[in-house]
Structure 1
Amino acid sequence: VCSWPTHARRRCSSPSSSRSVVVWALWCTNPSTRHPLSHCPLWRSAWRQRVSTPPVATGDCGLPAPHPPSGQLLKGQPMTGTLDFYPALRLQRLGSVAVVQPVWESGEPLPALTVDLETGSLAASEHPHVTSDFVPCFGVLGMLRLEGGPALVVITGVSAAGIVREHLVLKVTSTKVLYDTSHKWSKSDKKLLKLLAAGVDPKQYGGSLYFSHAGDITLTAQRAERVAADPQTAAARAWQRADLDVTWNAALARPLLDAGLDAYVPPVFMGFVEQLNGLDFLGGGRQVSLGVTLIARRSRHRPGTRQWRRGADQQSHVANYVETEQIVSDGEGALLSSFVQARGSLPLLWSQTPCLKYKIPLRLAPPSASAPVFAGHADRMVEVHGAVTAINLANQGGREGVLSAAYVAAADAYAASRSGFRLVPFDFHAMCGATNYARLSVLWDELAPDFECYGAFTRDGASGAVAGRQRGVFRTNCVDTLDRTNVVQGLLGRKALEATLRALGV
């Protein structure tokens, strides 16, 4: 559903086209009308102009030839494919074959994705499949191969979540799992099909899935700029540029990626996207209208609920790791600043399996076992973000104190041979109690020097040129990485917003 009325729009250049194309982008804070996104004339018109750019070469299957692969994320994969997105996709069933048919607004068909639900064969068909019996489709999540045959997962409903870096971000609102209903499925396959359907259903376990057909939305603004600045990665396909750590359909998409059919499968991340536009600020005798966007990207490694999922695994992935990006944009939607922070469970080998006891005991692995796991996690964060200030909000005494002491020991051991990771312990309960959040000033005094040093990714409002880069990240945790973490991340987000407003003179 398009949440912007057609009367409110702005003029901009299509950022993803190989040539300068002027398009109309829908832009409104308080929608007064809604209509199906697939039928939005402005949205489809913009993409129609984009895909009308003639390809300079074609591949063996008649599709436009792929860009040279970067080899950074999907080494050796045949990333052939076609245009990043079509104006409309139609999902059809022709016997045992599922067809995802892109169609121009004029009705002219384009090469279709065909999936044989009996054999699992995949192809990009040069012969159009056009029937009057179809269901609107917005992309393919992927395919799962079972013993009895394949199951294809498609996106059948979306809503507009916002415009991020001039790319439309969509939230998945409905999905459909297609399989051969005439086949006699085994008991185990039936369970897997039921689990798959629940896992991708936004009303059950598949909620909060987001994607964009045009932009690298799995990447933060700073990482996306680095990719765009490198000619090799800038020319790569979407799946080669995506951050696979937060791409939740990476495993489901593998059969289509291996077949070179990535163009039909957008990288999808799980998390949160919220955008507020038309926020007016006063300063220097003038009024400035800004927009604030919050994006949370949840790692696909080691997710789970508290107690059941704690600490790190042997691959140094920590439970419920999330990177949150706060974007401030001008009245035209152009990015002015991007501030990134992270949260995740304590990066040690520990567990807290629920039992009948009210106070669930903690189990902590020996330091020798946790040391390489901690080092792997810290190395990865330093490589991505440049420097890390880790804020541990767990209690410094009692049961949680055992964890906190082990965290300090691991950080000290890491610092003895490497740099870039600094641990700041702050006993939140002892310092702030239940409501005395004014005591957070003690923590802020400790963090302020690093905050000033790290800065944020910024662009010049007039030229759009990069004006500054974020040189480090704050990593916050408590035991559950929930309530206490929320408070401190809110503090850091507010400080980042205030810094941006000061830089703008408002």
Structure 2
Amino acid sequence: MRSMKETAVGEMKDTSILIVELDSGERFILSTFSMENNTKVISIDPTTGELSFTNKHGFDKFPSETDAFQYITAHSRWLVKSKIYARAILGYAVIGNFSLLLVATKLKTSIQQLPGGGTVFLVEESQWIKTSLRNPEPLSKSELKNLSDLQEVDIDGMYYFSETRDITRPFPSSYLVTDPDREFIWNEWLSKPFIRLGLRHHCVALLQGFVDSDMFTDGRGEQVIVTLIARRSRLHPGTRYLARGLNAAFSTGNEVECEQLVWPAIFSLDKSIPFSVYVWRRGTVPIWWKAEIKSTVAEAEISVNEQDPYRGANLYFSRLALRYGARQSNTASTKKKSLVPIVCVNLLKTGPGKPESVLAHHFEKCLEFVNSVEDSLVDMEVLLEHYDWHSQIKLVGDAGTVDGLWQLLKPHAIKMGFKMGSFSISENRRIPNSVVVPNRSYLGGIFSISTTQRGVMRFNCADSLDRTNAASFFSALQVLMEQCRRLGLFLNSNKGDTRVSLNKERDSMRGGLGLLPPGWESRCDAVTGRVFYIDHNTKTTTWVHPCPDEAWSKYDLSVEEFKEATLPSPISVLSGLFLTAGDVHATLYTGSRAMHSQILQIFSEEASKSKQYAVAQNMKITLQRRYLNVIMDNTRQKQLEMLLGLRRTRHFPTVVDETRQVVSWSPACVIKPVQSNFPGLHSPNELISIKSQDLIWVCPATAEVVEVFIFLRSPCHICQLLLTIAHGSSDDTSPASFDVRAGRYIDGLKLILEGATIPRCANGTRLLYLLPGVVNPEDAAIMGAGSREMGENQFPWLYEFEEQEGEIDFLTRIVAITFYPALPGKTPMTLGEIEVLGFSLPWENFSSTNDPWVEAFATALHNEDQNNSKNPFLASDATFLRSETQLNGFTKPLTDSGSIGHGLDLLTGDFLAQPTATETASRSHSPSMTASQSWDELLFDSTDPLDAFEDPLRHIENVNNITEVKTGSDEYLECLRAFCGNNMQGKRLGFSEAVELEIIRFGLQLSAAARDRLLLSVGRDPASIDPNRLLPPYYSVQVVQVAMQLAAMNKVAVEDDVLSKIGLSDLAPESSQEKDSLVICEIHGKQESRKLRFHPQTTGVVSCKSCNRKACASCRVCKEEAGLAVNSGSVPGNPMPAFQTLNWNDSICRKCCQQLVTDALLLDHLKNLGSKRRKGMIKEASAKAVLEIYGNNIADFGGVLSESFHVQKQQLEALLNGEKSLAQYPGASLLVSG
């Protein structure tokens, strides 16, 4: 099926996806996008799963799919193992030793062509393509179970997309399809690997919900298209009993934006296409509440949070108001008439004794709170209309219930209106006094918007399902009548007027239309495109229709009158759409179809029969829902979280997000001959080729050592070595050990791994070795010297105190591996495949003119240069979580890889979100100390000896114009002296003091080796301040466990924080954020730093609930954090206050907190600072590498690349004439430094 009809600009082809797997294990994605005339080949690394694409013609970019397929299979002895055809790429992820590619194999065209172009596809059939990777990092059993559950997530019939138009916003969107609204994109995490490659088009933006269109014929025989689009928000994903009400992202469970789009079926591009759009919302009650199933028979019990159940409700409604017409508030005295209305239609049971009445009562109180906020963020007015749906049906029946609903909604519908506009391929057809929106699809042209919808209606019941769907339908039906009237379409059932207009050109500016009196005619003005009317009786003309229908007149009809007065076809079409949509929403939220849907067929002749059948059907669905909710809700909740990439540390705790690349595959090569018993049988390059997996390289028995010199495919930082054991019947031929050297040139190689042992194992076993960077020999010798003298070997229970920091070099190009035989001179030594893994900077970006990555990198370098003067200790902005997983010689934090400046990830080329003032103000949703706060304030206790130092970093004293600048080493010794006094050699320090010294060390940018060197210089044994030695092992384990829980809590808080800013990013920081900035914190005795994060509704310092002392964000903990010690048994320290009585926004200071929690917080922060230091090393190494290659041209012009830089690249491109130079960096390099 073609995705588009043939138009004046040509015929669009379908997108084609072909996944090819060779017997060698190589995998390729051949992508032919509908809007492009080429095929791109994306390679999947069979070892790490990393995707690669260089955009080189003849290498991974070809004129057609046939050419691409022939290239990857030509001259290969490996056969094609499998081919999978697909219609769209939905996402890709690497999880442990598996890669998952999600594709759509069958699509349904839900909307053939929107006004202005754009097809919407529904995913009818999808497939997860799971591949085992060669990297031996297996998942645990629970992780394998979660991976299997992820593949079972229900995709088919529930998700849709458009390749050429942004459909994440109400039609018509002025945004590009590559810039969707993140609230409604469900595969954002899965699409990141393709976005990193610059292939934003090739992984579609996937929406969850319902989309479909249908056509009916009006009373004059004209065809009309009506479309229903329902996009579900991802800000509060989950199932019926696990995702209700508000969450920390300020969104509600089962939140859906619905859109009804109507236009006459005009496909000719030489005419304007009028259209009309109506938007409404549906979702659960926007307060903090839940429903629990305590019996398999009884109804679920509803409970509302006792402590501040309305928090975040104002931000939820602010998000709606901003989307539907509101502006940011500038003054507190906003005029009433400028407020954007948000009308909440509450369908809950409100009768006495009804469980839902509690929700209804709190809903009313919630809106009173929202409307009473004096410094409201936006100009909005939230109204509430109660309409007890079930009680009305019992009292007045189905028809009476609908009649009452229409009377309730009429004034609000008239006040809000809906959007009217037209599309024209020519700007000359623009509607006068209209708002012009550019058409972002392939057709071009403009949209002229004559009227807009101001405000939005929001429907809810308990679950936002059956009652909500029914009420939404009857509301949308009345709006459909008015939409068609405004479009000049005739939906009355009166058969008397069968005249056909002489000119069917429609214009959305002409207003409502009725039947023309005898002797009248309508025509279209050739200049303006407006319709005018000719009275042949008086021979006069007018722009005004002589007998317009009364607007919104059908709201006053009863159900029976409406049925008699309206054509059945539009009612039937719309009810069919809502019936299907109701089933989709119910299935996504409860796992079953919708109930009580028979009322949607009230206008049908079969209404009475369907109602009798519905009673038994509803009972069946009720039982089915209860079973699914009790048995399957947790699994389905987990599936949605994994699909969205949320809570990954919970579902896949051993998985590190960052994937490495195999940098030793072609075009890498072995640059020196390798000794062999059969020199003509194999090429040395086969040792590093994926196509030679079964190779056994036999070395001479006389060889004492065998060296393999590998020239890597691109400059990179190497981090791992993967060896495949290859031998015959005896494992005696395997090497016993090996050394690794690496460097930029062959005459400058440095030893990075010495004497690594190779165990005896079966043929084909794959062994993974970590490759730390080059460690300074003096640093290696001094670290742990004191411990060795004492003959102790302390296990690092808490963290790595004696961490060796290896060099990070992103310009490493040559790796030399020296193998030593197990039985020298007796048996030959056999080698298998060798793979070097590492991280490479996106060098290819620098070879493209005006590449945004290069511009961002230049800006980042410039900003970094300016930021170097800032105190990195007192203005800490660390936001990095911890992980003890050792990677490439440094510990990889759980968050994004190293980035430089603001907004650029150097390892991946990603552009990161920019922090705003509002973001800084509202990042934490509890008044607690989290990993992103300036924990260094903990050091400045009013009773601590460090109070004597105003600034422990770079202390400057001006005496007689003589400036003394103290180094980091001097400052560290000063701090040590403050702790130890005159007895620097022998005074015993406690755990908190030792940790504080480590925090100071990180702030002063000192390595562990530099610290040990300083301590030894004053006669202090470094082991004496090792925090690992200062706590009992049993207690240390407890501290680690609580610290891990803190890290997990913080990870969840960060995820919620990121989601909460979606849709609210335009808000400016509240003026109240500065009001308490001068209040003194009584815990650390210093003025509160403005760099600290604080709760959005509890700014500045707050009083401790235990001692009433003022505490800033760095010196207090929330209820959840204080309660972490409850399950940890009896521990020494301060008694635990009654934290169970704390409200959600209450806190206690660190002085009143149990010692276990305080110690865990210190450890958590210490790990965070270590991660930050390693990340800083990555930033520094990345910047250094790029500057060494491209010089200061990239950073010396205020963050803007120099003109000469662009000219040089343009000249090179002109010289190559479209070809790729193999001598161009980084494709080539020097072998020696000489």
Normalised to the residue count of structure 2, the TM-score between the two structures is: 0.32
Alignment of 1:354-433 (within 5 A): 354-356=293-295, 358-366=298-306, 369-386=308-325, 387-397=341-351, 398-417=354-373, 418=376, 419-433=380-394
The alignment status of 1:438 with 2:372, answered yes or no, reads no
| Cα-to-partner distance string for 1:194-230 (whole Å, 9 max, x where unaligned) | 122211652xxxx4111111111222204x1xx2xxx
The alignment status of 1:114 with 2:43, answered yes or no, reads yes
**d(CA) in 2 for partners of 1:446, 1:440:** 10
Q: Is the CA contact (8 Å cut-off) linking 2:47 and 2:133 kept in structure 1? A: no
Which AA in structure 1 matches 2:150?
L
Name the counterpart of 1:353.
292
Choose the corresponding residue for 1:216, options 143, 166, 182. Answer: 166
Q: Is the CA contact (8 Å cut-off) linking 1:10 and 1:332 kept in structure 2? A: no
Choose the corresponding residue for 1:46, options 12, 19, 38. Answer: 12
1:493 Cα deviation (Å)? 0.7
Return closer, same or farther for 1:87/1:461 CA change in 2, 3 Å cut-off. Answer: closer
Name the counterpart of 2:480.
497
| Cα-to-partner distance string for 1:359-382 (whole Å, 9 max, x where unaligned) | 22111013x522222112111111
Q: Is the CA contact (8 Å cut-off) linking 1:172 and 1:210 kept in structure 2? A: yes
Return closer, same or farther for 1:104/1:496 CA change in 2, 3 Å cut-off. Answer: closer
| Cα-to-partner distance string for 1:382-412 (whole Å, 9 max, x where unaligned) | 1111331111110123221111110001101
1:101 Cα deviation (Å)? 1.4
Name the counterpart of 1:251.
189
SS at match of 1:270: strand
**d(CA) in 1 for partners of 2:233, 2:32:** 34
Q: Is the CA contact (8 Å cut-off) linking 2:293 and 2:299 kept in structure 1? A: no
Return closer, same or farther for 1:489/1:188 CA change in 2, 3 Å cut-off. Answer: same
The alignment status of 1:474 with 2:462, answered yes or no, reads no
1:102 Cα deviation (Å)? 3.0
SS at match of 2:279: strand
Between the two proteins, what is the percent identity of the paired residues?
A: 23
**d(CA) in 1 for partners of 2:423, 2:205:** 30
Which AA in structure 2 matches 1:211?
F
Which AA in structure 1 matches 2:152?
A
Return closer, same or farther for 1:117/1:160 CA change in 2, 3 Å cut-off. Answer: farther
Return closer, same or farther for 1:170/1:104 CA change in 2, 3 Å cut-off. Answer: closer
Choose the corresponding residue for 1:485, options 463, 468, 475. Answer: 468
Alignment of 1:71-150 (within 5 A): 87-94=15-22, 95-103=24-32, 110-125=39-54, 126=56, 127-128=59-60, 129-131=68-70, 134-150=83-99
Q: Is the CA contact (8 Å cut-off) linking 1:349 and 1:373 kept in structure 2? A: no
**d(CA) in 2 for partners of 1:369, 1:411:** 13
**d(CA) in 1 for partners of 2:51, 2:27:** 10
Name the counterpart of 2:110.
161
1:290 Cα deviation (Å)? 0.6
Return closer, same or farther for 1:306/1:149 CA change in 2, 3 Å cut-off. Answer: closer
Name the counterpart of 1:451.
413
1:103 Cα deviation (Å)? 4.6
**d(CA) in 2 for partners of 1:364, 1:450:** 29
SS at match of 1:358: coil
- Hey, which of these two has a bigger chunk of strand by percent? 1
Q: Is the CA contact (8 Å cut-off) linking 1:396 and 1:427 kept in structure 2? A: yes
**d(CA) in 2 for partners of 1:340, 1:104:** 31
Choose the corresponding residue for 1:323, options 254, 257, 269. Answer: 257
Larger RCO (CA within 8 A; separation ≥ 6): 1
1:495 Cα deviation (Å)? 1.0
Which AA in structure 1 matches 2:163?
H
The alignment status of 1:194 with 2:148, answered yes or no, reads yes
SS at match of 2:153: helix
**d(CA) in 2 for partners of 1:345, 1:449:** 24
Return closer, same or farther for 1:438/1:402 CA change in 2, 3 Å cut-off. Answer: same
1:475 Cα deviation (Å)? 0.3
**d(CA) in 2 for partners of 1:311, 1:87:** 40
SS at match of 2:246: coil
Normalised to the residue count of structure 1, the TM-score between the two structures is: 0.75
Q: Is the CA contact (8 Å cut-off) linking 2:163 and 2:204 kept in structure 1? A: yes
Q: Is the CA contact (8 Å cut-off) linking 1:318 and 1:347 kept in structure 2? A: yes
Return closer, same or farther for 1:97/1:372 CA change in 2, 3 Å cut-off. Answer: farther
Computing the radius of gyration from Cα coordinates, the structure with the larger value is 2
Return closer, same or farther for 1:411/1:158 CA change in 2, 3 Å cut-off. Answer: same
> Larger deviation: 131-140 or 372-381?
131-140
Which AA in structure 2 matches 1:350?
W
Return closer, same or farther for 1:174/1:504 CA change in 2, 3 Å cut-off. Answer: closer
Name the counterpart of 1:287.
221
Name the counterpart of 1:180.
131
**d(CA) in 1 for partners of 2:2, 2:193:** 34
Return closer, same or farther for 1:200/1:479 CA change in 2, 3 Å cut-off. Answer: closer
Name the counterpart of 1:36.
none
1:109 Cα deviation (Å)? 5.2
| Cα-to-partner distance string for 1:308-367 (whole Å, 9 max, x where unaligned) | 43211122111101111111121126451111111100001000021215022111013x
Q: Is the CA contact (8 Å cut-off) linking 1:327 and 1:337 kept in structure 2? A: yes
Q: Is the CA contact (8 Å cut-off) linking 1:167 and 1:212 kept in structure 2? A: yes
Return closer, same or farther for 1:504/1:155 CA change in 2, 3 Å cut-off. Answer: closer
Name the counterpart of 1:63.
none
SS at match of 1:420: strand
- Hey, which of these two has a bigger chunk of helix by percent? 2
Which AA in structure 1 matches 2:450?
A
Return closer, same or farther for 1:491/1:92 CA change in 2, 3 Å cut-off. Answer: same
Structure 2: any 5+ residue segments left out of the alignment? 61-67, 74-79, 268-272, 326-340, 430-446, 491-1234
Q: Is the CA contact (8 Å cut-off) linking 1:298 and 1:323 kept in structure 2? A: yes
Name the counterpart of 1:57.
none
Q: Is the CA contact (8 Å cut-off) linking 1:96 and 1:116 kept in structure 2? A: no
**d(CA) in 1 for partners of 2:154, 2:382:** 37
Return closer, same or farther for 1:254/1:288 CA change in 2, 3 Å cut-off. Answer: same
Alignment of 1:267-278 (within 5 A): 267-277=205-215
Q: Is the CA contact (8 Å cut-off) linking 2:208 and 2:231 kept in structure 1? A: yes
Which AA in structure 1 matches 2:388?
D
CA RMSD of aligned residues (A): 2.7
**d(CA) in 2 for partners of 1:480, 1:244:** 24
**d(CA) in 1 for partners of 2:321, 2:194:** 33
Which AA in structure 1 matches 2:480?
L
SS at match of 1:287: coil
Which AA in structure 1 matches 2:148?
K
Name the counterpart of 2:202.
264
Name the counterpart of 1:52.
none
> Larger deviation: 318-327 or 448-457?
448-457
Which AA in structure 1 matches 2:313?
F
Which AA in structure 2 matches 1:120?
G
Name the counterpart of 1:35.
none
